[in-house]
Amino acid sequence: DKIWRIVIFDIPEKKKFARHALREKLKEWNFFQLQKSVWVCPWPCEKEVEFIVELLGIASYVNIVKAGEIQKDAYLREYFHLL
């Protein structure tokens, strides 16, 4: 659908286990790490991410942004085989 889903989070140290679990799940789902706490994918993932962050008790620290464009995204399109 040509929409990027960007998962951003700032999870406090006291919840580091949940932060680690979220990162591992995003890796498992083949997200691309733009920055330490910023991950992106090109497919609908909102329900899955919302489920895992609720399960981990970190929903208030996580946001999902939908964007039609990311500047200089050729490396992302290559990573996700969208060329």
pLDDT in tens, 31-60: 999 999 999 999 999 999 999 999 999 999
Euclidean distance between CA atoms 46 and 61, whole angstroms: 15
Which segments of 1-83 are extended strands (E)?
Answer: 4-9, 32-35, 38-41, 62-67
Q: Please, which pLDDT band fits residue 69 given cuts at 50, 70 and 90?
A: very high
Residues of the chain with pLDDT > 70, as a percent, come to 100
Euclidean distance between CA atoms 42 and 31, whole angstroms: 9
Averaged pLDDT, 22-29: 98
For 60, counting Cβ atoms within 10 Å of its Cβ (0-12 exposed, 13-18 middle, 19+ buried), the class is exposed
Residue 24 has pLDDT above 90, yes or no: yes
Q: Please, which pLDDT band fits residue 83 given cuts at 50, 70 and 90?
A: confident
**Angle of helix 16-28 versus helix 46-56 axis, rounded to 10:** 150
Tell me what pLDDT residue 53 has: 98
